[in-house]
Structure 1
Amino acid sequence: MSRTRLILLTTLAMMAFAGNSLLCRIALKGTAIDAVSFTAIRLAAGAAVLCLIVRVHRRSVFGRGNWPSACALLSYAVCFSLAYTQLSAATGALLLFASVQTSMIAYGIWAGERLSRIQLAGFMLAAGGLVVLLLPGLASPSVVGALLMLFAGAAWGVYSLRAKGAGDPTKVTAGNFMRAALVAAGLSLLVMARGQASMDMAGFSYAVLSGAVTSGLGYVIWYSVVPALQSISAATVQLSVPVIAALGGVMLLGEAISLRLVLASAAILGGIALVILKPRGPGRA
């Protein structure tokens, strides 16, 4: 893969990931769709696109993916949507990224990896930034929304860890999306039966775009470039996602960027960068 093509595809993937936050926030803020319906449509659209891509390559979708991973995917998607009923695009993306990276780093430590002093300082800096962001005050995000997004990030971290070495990533993701979409459809019917569901064409369209384009195609693009990126580079470029989401929130949603968010973002992203940019120490013997 040429360097120009690699840069282009990597940029598209990061924009797609940030686009998930923007589309979800736009839909839940500016349309009549409810969070559960948005999730169900997003997962169904993502499953349809991923299965189509797999079939185009003459591969069977069945027999790939598994229910534990699908449950982690569903937990992420549901909490992600519910959180964005209360959070700005920038805050939500930052909390999600921090939670994903922290959960994966914590798993590495539990598995026997050791942090150097610089990495430990970075981890503490990121944790401090998270505390600053969540401290009570006029600029603090909703506690419920923040907790939901942190749980969404942890669920995505679990999903990502389970995906390592699971086989063809596109095929595995397609299978997991299919399973998650089935359960999400059941949840949507339950919400509908209780009279709590709502929908309009704009909300439906945003959900389809989120599932088919920024989720389905976004993951396929990302999986196509990961093999060409060093592991450290792959982790580092993802630092751009909260920044892209913040800029999109300002330009598309008119969201304000507070000094608290800027300082917390610098601490969280800078701290995580210190952890992932410096190789970790040897694990246990």
Structure 2
Amino acid sequence: MPALLILLAAVCFGTTGTALALGPDSASPASAGAVRIVVGGALLAMVVFARRSSRRGAPPRAAARLRVPTVVLVLVGAAAIVAYQPTFFLGTTRAGVAVGTIVALGSAPIFTGLLEWVATRRFPGTVWIVATVVASVGVALLGGALEPGSSRVDPVGIAGSLGAGASYAVYALVAKLLLMRGAHSTWSMGALFGSAAAVSLPIALTTDLSWLARPDGVATAVWLGVVTTGVAYVLFGRGLSDVRASTAATLTLVEPLTAALLGVLILGETLAATAASGIAVVAAGLLVLVVPRRGGAPRRSERVTSRADGF
């Protein structure tokens, strides 16, 4: 089930902030983000290389009428991936793992829906609007459930998280556009993250990488690269093949739930009683998207397989 794959990917995403918090203090957001993409992107690129003889793993053949070359889409998506890392880690570092992740992922569905509407000229749909509004209310309740003093809400951190949400929207939409051109999900993720890895390597080398000399630093890098990037985006890409980018972004609101629970259970962050209400409301919003409509037939708006108009 495509939705389940995206939900599993979101759980992997949700461990990112906690992994950084448990790592060495010297691992800066810029350094950790660059290393994450270098490791994860290299892994995804290796998967594509291993599948190079497979017809399904071949690059997409863009129709002549498409105005934006595939290589341009890949570069735009890769740039957004690179931008996401430092902005996301800035948010979780300055505003706390729970709040930083909630703001980043809570804003992502809105950014994604708007960008998808502009790019594909297809309205995301009433069901998506209802689900996103309900889930966003739950995210707001969850974010407001932090007890005073449990996490320092920093304006710079919030701005970083919003930047991460916008960056996420861009590369999620680019991935969907590549799939709409006939690319296999593994190729799409490998092309995007492999390109991002090539850009991130020199960035990583300009940062303090001394934290990688420590056992906990190596463990952090492996977890960030393999679990939260490699495994997560293979799952995400396969799920994205059969749902709209806006729907996928809303489903990934499981990530802030995961981050909030890990923040409480592992990092000792405090959540007020209203957190349970927030979790329940987010779950209700996601169910609107996951539960099939009467008759069990997939919604036409969810199975977007045609080319994006003008792309």
**Fold shared per TM-score above 0.5:** yes
Decide whether aligned partners of structure 1 residues 270 and 151 sit closer, same or farther in structure 2, where only a CA change above 3 A counts.
farther
Matched, 1:37 2:49: no
Partner residue of 1:187? Answer: 203
> What is the letter of the counterpart of residue 46 of structure 2?
L
Whole-angstrom distance in 1 between the partners of 2:276 and 2:222: 32
Say if 1:66 and 1:175, in contact at 8 Å, map to a contact too. Answer: yes
Aligned partner (choices 78, 82, 87) of residue 79 of structure 1: 87
The CA deviation at 1:160 is 0.7
Matched, 1:162 2:171: no
Say if 2:102 and 2:143, in contact at 8 Å, map to a contact too. Answer: no
Say if 2:100 and 2:158, in contact at 8 Å, map to a contact too. Answer: yes
Correspondences of 1:69-108 after superposition (within 5 Å): 69-108=77-116
Whole-angstrom distance in 2 between the partners of 1:113 and 1:268: 22
Matched, 1:240 2:234: no
Whole-angstrom distance in 1 between the partners of 2:270 and 2:221: 24
- Please list the CA deviations of residues 117-160 of structure 1 after superposition, one character each: whole Å capped at 9, or x if unmatched: 994796499379649957xx935622211110111011010111
> What is the letter of the counterpart of residue 174 of structure 2?
R
Decide whether aligned partners of structure 1 residues 11 and 100 sit closer, same or farther in structure 2, where only a CA change above 3 A counts.
closer
Moved more, 153-162 or 89-98: 89-98
> What is the letter of the counterpart of residue 32 of structure 1?
S
Structure 2 unaligned spans of 5+: 60-69, 294-298, 302-311
- Please list the CA deviations of residues 161-209 of structure 1 after superposition, one character each: whole Å capped at 9, or x if unmatched: 11113122222222222222232232233345xxxx6524212321221
Decide whether aligned partners of structure 1 residues 156 and 9 sit closer, same or farther in structure 2, where only a CA change above 3 A counts.
closer
C-alpha RMSD of the superposition: 4.2
Say if 2:7 and 2:252, in contact at 8 Å, map to a contact too. Answer: no
Whole-angstrom distance in 2 between the partners of 1:121 and 1:221: 22
> What is the letter of the counterpart of residue 41 of structure 2?
A
Whole-angstrom distance in 1 between the partners of 2:217 and 2:25: 5
The CA deviation at 1:49 is 1.3
> What is the letter of the counterpart of residue 92 of structure 1?
G
> What is the letter of the counterpart of residue 154 of structure 1?
A
Matched, 1:23 2:23: no
> What is the letter of the counterpart of residue 174 of structure 1?
G
Whole-angstrom distance in 1 between the partners of 2:225 and 2:187: 16
Partner residue of 1:54? Answer: 48
TM-score by length of 1: 0.74
Moved more, 40-49 or 84-93: 84-93
- Please list the CA deviations of residues 15-53 of structure 1 after superposition, one character each: whole Å capped at 9, or x if unmatched: 2121223223322xx543222221121111112211222
Aligned partner (choices 214, 234, 252) of residue 220 of structure 1: 234
Partner residue of 1:206? Answer: 220
Structure 1 unaligned spans of 5+: none
The CA deviation at 1:255 is 1.7
- Please list the CA deviations of residues 48-99 of structure 1 after superposition, one character each: whole Å capped at 9, or x if unmatched: 2112222222358999772111111111112112222223332222212211
